[in-house]
Structure 1
Amino acid sequence: TFYVINRLRHYREEQVIDDVPQWLKSTVEKMHDKEQFSESALENMVTLSAKSQEYLTRATQRYYGKTPMQIINEIRINFAKKQLEMTNYSVTDIAFEAG
């Protein structure tokens, strides 16, 4: 039973990722650029999507289960983690750089 449940869960997660509209995948991918997530990140995300903020919010919640700001904050945190691992910059500098 455990195996079946895990397979169904995996299938469902794969299906959700496949269902994400191309414009949304592209927007989230472009948000990984430091210039996009550091300053005015939410405005940048709305501009990249070419949708209204309300529509973008509904879409990210539907397909990712997160708000745009939650996605942006995850991107910032992952950027900061990589910087901490790969550089000798101070935590303050990294935090400032990440936004």
Structure 2
Amino acid sequence: ITFVGLILLMEGKFLGLETIVLGYILEPISGISIYLTIKDIQKVSAHLFFYGAVIYTIGLPFYLINIPMIAIIGDLIKIVGLSYFISFAIKNYQ
């Protein structure tokens, strides 16, 4: 959704900005399905993913005042959680 918004915005259409905002609003819905799927399998990974998402969401408004590091740190925590889950799944489900 965000990618489509970027394309529209690059074409000078204000609808692109609205589409980007819609993408960020809907992101937690897709994230909660990932969290609910992995929490019963590997709790540490699920908690890293969840709290990374919380930090990312809190950090989004800071982009407006040129402080992107909070959201980036949240994204990195999510990536660590997902990577840990993938390595756990590879070790235990082969």
TM class, shorter-length? 0.3 to 0.5
TM-score by length of 1: 0.33
Tell me: higher relative CO, structure 1 or 2? Use CA pairs within 8 A at least 6 residues apart: 1
Structure-2-length-normalised TM-score = 0.35
Higher helix share: 2
